[in-house]
Chain A
């Protein structure tokens, strides 16, 4: 399949070719950098769809497995599910 036509991040309209260009041509070789350069993972789904695909691409670059690809823990950001401002005002915690 033509990587130019494979959509990796639907929220931000990023293709597989965009991801590979970022990694191989521009040297953005960690998940955090790819996210910053392509915006993949910054949309409403919070990277749920594209993150595994990007980590797989980066694993190929690093010659490792996706779980070993450099990624900061805080890259996965709340809220886990989109919430409205109306809901956020009501947030309570028993912590």
Chain B
């Protein structure tokens, strides 16, 4: 007879890691984290590491403000080396390529200021003065928030997992969940190749793999995998602090702490899948070419720099590009945290913590209940204007 857990967390990306830690911190009960591969094997481990509070709705700015505060103290809270978590607050520089785009950015900044996110509005001349290495052809203005930046997705996730383990949580790697187990209207555990594991609560934090797990027990969520690609260069001496992004040109690029430039651009026709059996995670030369030609317009200094590696990963997309969080109340004890739509890593520390509060019945640090799974059927989508891709 195997042990019964109070909480089984399915998936050890940032989302599962944060929920597990935050539950353990609250002495919520016994916790088992399962991953079909290992922590950061999915979207978290292929992401671009960016963290920004420059969103366009009060909702997202508030959540990212909480995330930023968490990231700023994470090494202390999780007792993990600061240099490994690697928080680097070099800011996000958002470039606008038309007056209309600039007006939209200014509207976002108004929202951000109300919430205490002190984003600056910059003219092209001011951008040039601060970052003379950037080519600004066509740029009509920009916004810059100095507390934005990036952290290491591997070590951040490992830090959460290790902290959860110290508080008693268990991690089982290489253990895929084949099926969620239910009895009547209650979830009772998960089926694995090693047999069933029973638990009073199951939290599905399996990224794009969440959809099929839920579908198999009759729960339909509009969450799918969208392939995005990324590359990194050889390391150069550090000279560019901010993440540079453009919503209209759909790219982002930043210099990592070790000196390599990491960057991505959205595909013209993204490949999308609902069924994990169809996933294709191969890199493409189309991406390489589009990325190179776009970025050379902005960062001509990269011309003779070497690209050392490219890879692909999945955004776990939802219809309105926001997470699905909270109880799946078709079954007692069933919860979900997935669908970050390209922002799962940066929102992880806040949304994961708030879900743990929700699960144990605490007051929520911020009301995220509108991200419930029923919003799609009820036509209550949550709209955010400031996204890449």
Contact = CB atoms under 8 A, between A and B. Distances in A.
B137 to A, nearest CB: 16
Contact of A74 (B38, B39, B282, B296): B282
Interface stretch (B95-103, B119-127, B283-291, B329-337): B283-291
A1 interface: no
A93 B295 CA distance: 21
A82 B310 CA distance: 11
Interface stretch (A2-10, A31-39, A49-57): A31-39
B306 A84 contact: yes
Given A85-B292, A88-B292, A93-B285, A36 B308 contact: no
A85 B296 contact: yes
A42 B308 CA distance: 8
A36 B49 CA distance: 14
Contact of A84 (B38, B291, B307, B312): B307
A32 B38 contact: yes
Interface stretch (B219-227, B297-305, B314-322): B297-305
B307 A83 contact: yes
Q: Which of A28, A39, A70, A82 has its CB near the most chain B CB atoms (within 10 A)?
A: A82
Nearest to B308: A44
B387 interface: no
Contacts of A86: 292, 296, 303-304
Contacts of B306: 44, 82-84
Given A37-B154, A82-B306, A84-B306, A89 B292 contact: yes
Range of interface residues on B (Cβ < 8 Å): 35 or more
A27 B312 CA distance: 26
A91 B288 contact: yes
Given A36-B45, A89-B292, A77 B311 contact: yes
Contacts of A46: 308-309
A77 B309 contact: yes
Contacts of B305: 84-85
B167 to A, nearest CB: 17
Q: Which of A28, A36, A42, A77 has its CB near the most chain B CB atoms (within 10 A)?
A: A36
B307 A42 contact: no
B21 interface: no
A79 B287 CA distance: 12
B234 interface: yes
Contacts of B310: 77-79
Contacts of B40: 36
B248 interface: no
Contacts of A30: 37-38
A12 B282 CA distance: 25
Interface of A: 12, 28, 30, 32-33, 36-37, 39, 42-44, 46, 70, 72, 74, 77-79, 82-86, 88-89, 91, 93
8 contacts: A32-B37, A32-B38, A44-B306, A77-B310, A78-B283, A82-B308, A86-B292, A91-B289
Given A85-B305, A93-B285, 17 more contacts: A30-B38, A36-B45, A39-B258, A42-B309, A43-B308, A44-B308, A74-B311, A77-B311, A79-B307, A82-B308, A84-B304, A84-B306, A85-B292, A85-B302, A85-B304, A86-B303, A88-B288
